[in-house]
Structure 1
Amino acid sequence: RELPAATVSICQSSSERFTPLVALELVSDTKEEAITWLLQRIRDKQRNGGAELLVEQLRPGLGVQEKQNPNLFLIGASLQRLLSGAEDLGLFKEFNDGSMRGFTCTNKQNFKDFQGDGDGFLSVAECQYIIKHELDTLRAKDESHVPGHTQAKLYPGKSIIRRLLSKGIMVQMFPLHQKEELKRLTFSWYKKVKLSLQPLGKIQCNYEGQALYFGFLEYFTFALIPMALIGVPYYLFDWDDYDKYVIFAVFNLIWCTVILELWKRFSATLAYRWGTLSRKKAFEEPRPGFHGVLGFNPVTGREEPLYPNAKRQLRVYCVSLPFVLLCLYGSLYVMMIYFQMEGWALSLHDEDPTFWTGVLLFIPSIIYAVVIEVLNLIYRYAAEFLTEWENHRLESSYQNHLILKVLVFNFFNCFASLFYIAFVMQDMVLLRQSLATLLITSQILNQFMEAFLPYWLQRRRNKKMMRRVTKMRTQEDKELPIEEQVRLEADMSTYLGTFDDYLELFLLFGYVSLFSCVYPLAAVLVLLNNITEVYSDAFKMCRVFKRPFSDPASNIGVWQLAFEAMSVIAVVTNCALIGMSPQVKAYFPESDMQLILWTVAIEHGLLAVKFILTFLIPDVPKPIQIQLAKLEFESLEALKKKVNTWESPVPQLHFCILPSSLGVDSCI
């Protein structure tokens, strides 16, 4: 058997053999009664509290000598089960009239791609998302603990999968790659060079939860082209004149505002086309790591851990906040050491200007750039530990607090020295040198971590795989058996999400929008970095990482606010740089206060224009607004019809008992 392409038959419910979509691995010493209980709950009917899915144990690999974990299970589902799951989740699919509507089984024949019994209607990513949802909502009934594992406590309503993960009984659960579909995606994504960079439609079919990130990466890459085209001649013609940056700074102000507003419209278009713009998320469950005193959720009425919000706020403001401030102070101290090293190198060069002392001028900036990357990495682990310790109930709340901690520190750590050079030292030569060194060094380090290292790991994994399967495949047999395919994917690295990818783009956007008027080649370097990022990310997603579960999103979430905040800071920064330029100072030769007042006034005016544009330019294009309004109107009309049906008068039946002497047996 082999894993099928994305649109082949999902399974045959009448057969014991089915198409595996998800793999589930338990620890090797899991008790037999726990395995039997779990499989029974997965297979059981929904009305009995089961998931009603198909599951079978993976057979051991052939011809492999090393010890294998026997507790690997393959999970699939019948086609009807998947269609009902799609309705429960409110998946949006294209209707016959071209609009995107929530799928319903009663109306299934009116959807565009639904033919016959619906075989191929759902993509494999959607099927895997449905299966994951059904497994995540598998809940304990009257069990007090997982059978055979008394340490894994259960209570009515507790998610079984989350408990197995938190107690280390379940090693992992991951969706399986579809080999033929993966081959086609690999060829069109990073093996073929083309103008559009990425096949976003195919990416969305395979990596639905990450598709918007790749869409934003491509959009940001193309948005850098006008900056790069203007920056190259600007840099070449004004190489020795560091003060002629006013025009480029003005362009910077317009660019960083316009591209973010246009991205929101492009993002809404993509989300509508992919059916995620109007999709309502199911009620968010507690995080696996969340703990507290057992109680009842006031919304759902389910029994689950409860944790006082006041206690969480005390941890946030009395521990996490002081820690972040302490880290910012440490970063400031490191920055002061950097400036001391910079002054020492400059003094050596002034005393004896030679080639080597000229090279020495760049050494402090290179060391500082490396130290910044190391500090960011160390702080990231500390921020994750603190956010976990704060014990947030929801995954979204956890992510928001983590992102805020990491963004504040990374922004200060990466840009504080540049602000100091620009507005305290007012040394444009040093600012250009420092920005170039920081940008180039960080990109070299990132490319090593994201391109070379994954490629090296993949080469090692390929050699290991070839050694494992040499004895079990002939020269004529080119396909890898499914047993080895699944075990190979189980050993692959786990994709940790788009957090680090968005963070990298956020910092690059900051380098371009804040100070690229002083170093116009910044946009060119970031453009080249993004093109490399496209191919390195594609390689990692296809060859290095396990396939991640879909997590459909209608936008890039809190990162949109982060980029917009950076654009506001960019307006203030570029206005200040314009006010400091000799060309503008020449108009105010006698009064620095007047110059400051004019600069602040213009900056406030530009911010006002920016916010006015934000309100005037709709986030959702007009055609999509009309489609959404039509769907809402149709939903209201359908609801009115149902209400009228319920409220229509029902004939009343009056019963009476008549004497049998009348010869009447009926009741009127």
Structure 2
Amino acid sequence: MKCFGTTKEEYELCEKQNDETMEYLLPTTSTRRTFDYILVADKLDDDDADQKGQRQKAFLHELERKHISIVKIMHDDKVFFGLRAPKEIFEDYQYLLKVSDSCNWCGEAKGCVSQATRIRIINFILYHTFINTGEDLEELMMKGVFETVFCLHERKKQKQLRKNWARWSGLFTGQPVNDVKSYFGEKVALYYLWLGWYTMMLVPAAALGLVVFLYGLAFFNTNPLIKEVCNSSTIMCPRCDNRCTVWKLSDTCSYAKVSHLFDNEGTVAFAMFMAIWATLFLELWKRHRAKHVSQWKVYDWCEEEEELILAIVSNPHCSPKQFRHSYLRTTLVLILVTLMLMIIIGLAHALVVFRVVAAALLSEGNWEFVRDHASSVAMLLGAVLHYITIQVMTRVNRWVALKLCNIEKTNSFAATERSFTVKMFTFQFFTLFSSLFYVAFFLGRINGHPGSYVRIARWRLEECHPSGCLTDLFIQMAVIMVLKQTLNNIFEFTVPWLKQCMSRNKVKKLQRKCGYCYRKACRNEQEGVDPCDICKLRDWLRNYHLADSNAFSLFNEFLEMVIQFSFTTIFVAAFPLAPMLALLNNIIEIRLDAIKMVRLERRLVPRKTNDIGVWTQVLEAIGVLAVIANGLVIGVSSDFVPRLVYRYRYGPCATGGSNTHCMQGYINDTLSTAFMGHPAVQNDFIPKQMITESGFNATECSYRDYRSDEDYKLTAQFWVVMAVRFAFVILFEHVVVVCKFIAAWFVPNSPMKVKNDRLHDKMARLKEELRDIKRSISTDV
């Protein structure tokens, strides 16, 4: 009892030197007890005592029938119930686990049960205990009978994790995955294992993306396309009706320079690399996972058997929950999912309308800078509005996904979790990417041309910049990625941190009372007493005031990272710096999540698993979609194919022998001319729109398209470019898909060492079973 002081000053000095004061103060006798779970309820007044009080007593009585001991402590307007299960429950669990088909006891000695295992079992018992009205704990909490339920952090292990892992100074150090597994369970450990592997694999992707960016930067000033735009005297057609006037192509010199940074020859190679990288990442992750789950002895773990074992431990007379399938329910869910996706796509259309209207109104404004850059400002405002829409729809999507899972009535928690994951990811994917798909594949392609513009109400649709449409996609992605990752991380950390700061003073007051209680017990030589109620309550309150954690806590982290993976792979051709941003974010994300889980949130229920679950299939689907999307971005959205066609068919070098640059004249070749005197055009532009800033009255203007100047029909060059575009997309996708299959075949899912170790373990287990049987027979004889 080194921390016993005779004065208040001595005790506080010792307390300051050692954050684990309770480890010294608590008696190390057999009477010292830990608690598996804490139930919290409000103190009941006279009006609620009958209904809520009876339900509360009924639930506690059911727990006592299962031999769970309960300690009740009152504090202010709250009632705390400390729950502890007897060792017989865990002995039953160990035996059933041993005789199951997937014998996978996690290396713990017989009779020795870790606190993480205790918490997992008691959590199942709590949520599968019903009172005589048929209500379970979840329903009782919804009706206010209990306020909350949580498991306790282990102070000693918590401090060790804070020291070795959950600290900002360890940004570039490894993760103690085995310690995380022992404390939070295999499910959380596999999340951090996956996140660490994903972050490490981002290093080569980020380096190559940076090289592609630097490649565009190296030829920044010598590129003939940029020079052609910057030195051009071409007069372009008005971008909107009424207030917009003609403008010079050279006005967009800066835009053309930015566009070339992300739309160059290196982009094609980088997109192919990222498609193959996604496959290699998944295949190598499977090997990495296999090595750790084999070490943790959960390689053959089966979630069905785990739930059956827990159900028997909770209630020996239980019956298995039958598998059910209803075509009516499935059809209803499918219809509702389709309706939800239609609403999300409708919101994307609303964003398009907003951008069209915003561009038109800004072009009529009084600020010269905003008026001159109306399209770019509208694009930026649309991206910010898209981010706000994402934040709102995230909450709506979660609510809808939960309701759909309730309609399905799955037979287990794991099945519900899988169903919810697929639905929630689908909704989130469409929420985030529907607007991006519009920018990538529809912007500037459905707006029409002079004489036949497409309008929404009275406003014209947006047009692509003469330097290409890829920069618009880049701006949209950059705003969403930076805003989403930065603001999400800020809110994730600050909210639980502020909650902890506000509750710290209350815990410190109880800590001083607890120290006085133990000093008095020591002076009276009462070494065999249980901890006083104040000391128990201090630890319970410390955990109670932490931010709540539930089954969605880990799901949210996975969803955030998988959405980031989608951004990093699907439209990487438009944003080569996406892997670099993802890498920088993940380095911070690992420590932020660790600090949040260890220090700022209640302890997550440790759950057993041997994989990241349905997320593996989601990542594989994203890898396939990345091939399709990048092929379309390069073939359809990028100017790579038109530049290729111009170089080898229509440019100065097409016939050979030219001394000029092969891309000389490309910009003018992509422009068509509209004449004011033409009957099809004269109604689109009023005379004042054709007056330049210098006062010159233009009689013709240019626009981006391959059309004849006489009848405005598509030229032969348009169809040649279109044919090459489709040929490139087909060739790109087939080549990359073949490379993906070869990579998946070449890399085995499990290392040979893991397979051999499993064989040895199985043989050793079978031999042990045979010895036990022979020993039992000889004893009987």
Q: TM-score range by the shorter chain?
A: 0.7 to 0.9
Distance 1:346 1:574 in 2: 33
Q: Report 1:168-187 matches (<5 A).
A: 169=145, 171-187=147-163
Q: CA deviation at 1:210?
A: 1.2
Q: CA deviation at 1:610?
A: 1.6
Q: CA deviation at 1:178?
A: 0.7
In structure 1, the partner of 2:486 is: 444
Tell me, yes or no, if structure 1 residue 248 matches structure 2 residue 257.
no
Tell me, yes or no, if structure 1 residue 325 matches structure 2 residue 341.
yes
In structure 1, the partner of 2:301 is: 279
In structure 2, the partner of 1:312 is: 329
Tell me, yes or no, if structure 1 residue 462 matches structure 2 residue 504.
yes
Q: CA deviation at 1:637?
A: 6.8
% identical equivalent positions: 22
Distance 2:163 2:371 in 1: 48
In structure 1, the partner of 2:117 is: 126
In structure 2, the partner of 1:96 is: none
In structure 2, the partner of 1:665 is: none
Q: Give 5+ residue unaligned stretches, structure 1.
A: 44-52, 93-99, 105-110, 139-144, 154-159, 287-299, 652-668
Whether the 8 Å CA contact 1:235–1:519 is kept in 2: the answer is no
In structure 2, the partner of 1:496 is: 550
Q: Report 1:308-457 matches (<5 A).
A: 309-318=326-335, 320-340=336-356, 343-344=359-360, 347=363, 352-353=368-369, 360=377, 362-425=380-443, 427-457=469-499
Whether the 8 Å CA contact 2:500–2:545 is kept in 1: the answer is no
Distance 1:307 1:233 in 2: 54
SS in 2 for 1:408: helix
Q: Deviations over 1:48-77 (max 9, x none)?
A: xxxxx5x2414445xxxx22315x023144
Distance 2:138 2:94 in 1: 22
Whether the 8 Å CA contact 1:87–1:103 is kept in 2: the answer is no
Equivalences, count: 581
Letter in 1 for 2:401: A
| Greater shift in the superposed pair: 381-390 or 168-177 | 168-177
Tell me, yes or no, if structure 1 residue 238 matches structure 2 residue 188.
no
Letter in 2 for 1:199: P
Q: Report 1:147-226 matches (<5 A).
A: 151-152=133-134, 169=145, 171-191=147-167, 192-193=169-170, 195-208=172-185, 209-226=187-204
In structure 1, the partner of 2:631 is: 575
Whether the 8 Å CA contact 1:579–1:596 is kept in 2: the answer is yes
In structure 2, the partner of 1:262 is: 284
Pairing partner for 1:20 from 18, 31, 35: 35
Q: CA deviation at 1:206?
A: 0.9
In structure 2, the partner of 1:554 is: 610
Distance 2:189 2:99 in 1: 16
Q: CA deviation at 1:161?
A: 6.1
Distance 2:99 2:147 in 1: 29
Whether the 8 Å CA contact 2:365–2:371 is kept in 1: the answer is no
Distance 2:41 2:495 in 1: 29
In structure 2, the partner of 1:621 is: 751
Distance 1:638 1:69 in 2: 49
Q: CA deviation at 1:566?
A: 0.7
Q: Report 1:64-83 matches (<5 A).
A: 66-70=76-80, 72-78=81-87, 82-83=90-91
Distance 1:342 1:644, change over 3 A: farther
Q: CA deviation at 1:346?
A: 7.7
Whether the 8 Å CA contact 1:26–1:172 is kept in 2: the answer is yes
Structure 1 length-normalised TM? 0.75
Pairing partner for 2:96 from 88, 91, 96: 88
Letter in 1 for 2:502: R
Distance 2:121 2:164 in 1: 27
Distance 1:644 1:346, change over 3 A: farther
Distance 1:471 1:422, change over 3 A: same
SS in 2 for 1:23: strand
Distance 1:639 1:103 in 2: 15
Whether the 8 Å CA contact 1:86–1:130 is kept in 2: the answer is no
Q: CA deviation at 1:17?
A: 4.7
Whether the 8 Å CA contact 2:103–2:301 is kept in 1: the answer is no
Distance 1:577 1:482, change over 3 A: same
Tell me, yes or no, if structure 1 residue 40 matches structure 2 residue 99.
no
SS in 2 for 1:462: helix
In structure 2, the partner of 1:487 is: 541
Distance 2:587 2:99 in 1: 33
Distance 2:99 2:596 in 1: 28
SS in 2 for 1:212: helix
Distance 1:161 1:85, change over 3 A: farther
Q: CA deviation at 1:101?
A: 6.9
For the pair shown, which has the larger CA radius of gyration, 1 or 2?
A: 2
Tell me, yes or no, if structure 1 residue 57 matches structure 2 residue 71.
yes
Distance 2:366 2:98 in 1: 69
Distance 1:502 1:390 in 2: 23
SS in 2 for 1:102: coil
Q: Deviations over 1:604-634 (max 9, x none)?
A: 2321332343244222211111222334455
Q: Deviations over 1:211-262 (max 9, x none)?
A: 1111111111222222222223432442431321223222222222211111
Q: Deviations over 1:399-441 (max 9, x none)?
A: 2332222222221221222222222236011111111111111
Q: Deviations over 1:528-565 (max 9, x none)?
A: 22122222212221223221221111111111111111
Distance 1:495 1:134 in 2: 19
Letter in 2 for 1:235: F
Q: CA deviation at 1:485?
A: 0.9
Distance 1:346 1:603 in 2: 41
Whether the 8 Å CA contact 1:338–1:365 is kept in 2: the answer is no
SS in 2 for 1:442: helix
Distance 1:556 1:30 in 2: 41
Letter in 1 for 2:162: T
Letter in 2 for 1:317: L
Q: CA deviation at 1:164?
A: 6.1
- RMSD (Å), alpha carbons: 4.3
Q: Report 1:99-118 matches (<5 A).
A: 102-103=104-105, 114=109
Distance 1:518 1:602, change over 3 A: closer
Q: CA deviation at 1:456?
A: 1.7
Distance 1:253 1:449 in 2: 32
Whether the 8 Å CA contact 1:91–1:279 is kept in 2: the answer is no
In structure 2, the partner of 1:605 is: 735
Whether the 8 Å CA contact 2:171–2:588 is kept in 1: the answer is no
Distance 2:59 2:575 in 1: 61
Q: Deviations over 1:366-421 (max 9, x none)?
A: 22222222222222223223332443332233223322222222212212222222
Whether the 8 Å CA contact 2:39–2:82 is kept in 1: the answer is yes
SS in 2 for 1:57: strand
In structure 1, the partner of 2:668 is: none
Distance 1:313 1:618, change over 3 A: same
